[in-house]
């Protein structure tokens, strides 16, 4: 196999975090005296980090101003810290897939727009930390996905060239990140992608599971 490292998106690829994000969002909205959002709505809001999630929760036809948004983000953070990992579940096939990828001996990393204050405790609570040699969160660099810098940073941490990396995600943001960085990208169809299905033609492979991703990678050829 020509890949020398693998990066994984977190929310929507490894973990279904929407139940906790919805709980925290609605606690925030209640504290601000605003009506709640449904879990399906929250699922469409996820993917670009906490600030975008909060902005979308507040926007009911009139986007919040910067002061309103900043206050809401600060209200959200302790609520999410309180529930982070309580109702999150590992998607089916992820543990077996990570075991298989780990057995290849390749360095693995997580790449997420979630702030490190939430990412690392969540991975620890879900028992996933030991799989990864690098964890790159939304505030690990000055940029977030789809900017390529977080992916480049992950590859640097793993000691691998970006062009030899495989990125596995669930959304157009993962595709844009990998394309901008210059690496191969596979997508799973069960994630969030802001309510839209991932298109097979937009990524290098659409795979049903992390295990299928490994099988596909084993059959692929270097470009």
Residues designated catalytic: 9
Distance CA 139, CA 73 (A): 15
In the chain, where does DSSP find H-type helix? 18-31, 39-45, 50-58, 66-83, 94-103, 116-125, 149-158, 172-181, 210-219
Cβ(145)–Cβ(111) below 8 Å: yes
**Is it true that the peptide bond before 146 is cis, omega within 30 degrees of 0?**
yes
């Amino acid at each position: 196999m020509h890949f020398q490292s693998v990066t994984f998106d977190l929310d929507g690829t490894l973990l279904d975090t929407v139940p906790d994000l919805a709980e925290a969002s609605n606690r925030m909205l209640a504290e601000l005296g605003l009506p709640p959002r449904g879990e399906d709505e929250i699922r469409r809001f996820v993917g670009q980090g906490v600030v975008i999630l909060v902005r979308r929760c507040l926007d009911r036809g009139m986007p919040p101003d910067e002061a309103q948004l900043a206050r809401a983000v600060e209200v959200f953070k302790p609520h999410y810290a309180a529930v982070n990992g309580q109702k999150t579940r590992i998607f089916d096939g992820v543990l077996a897939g990570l075991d298989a990828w780990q057995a290849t001996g390749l360095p693995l990393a997580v790449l997420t727009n979630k702030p490190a204050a939430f990412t690392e405790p969540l991975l620890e609570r879900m028992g996933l930390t030991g799989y990864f040699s690098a964890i790159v969160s939304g505030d690990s660099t000055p940029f977030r996905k789809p900017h390529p810098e977080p992916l480049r940073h992950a590859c640097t941490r793993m000691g691998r060239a970006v062009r030899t990396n495989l990125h596995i995600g669930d959304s157009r943001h993962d595709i844009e990140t990998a394309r901008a960085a210059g690496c191969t990208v596979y997508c799973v169809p069960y994630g969030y992608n802001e309510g839209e299905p991932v298109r097979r033609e937009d990524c290098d492979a659409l795979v049903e599971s992390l295990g299928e991703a490994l099988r596909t990678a084993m059959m692929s050829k270097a470009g």
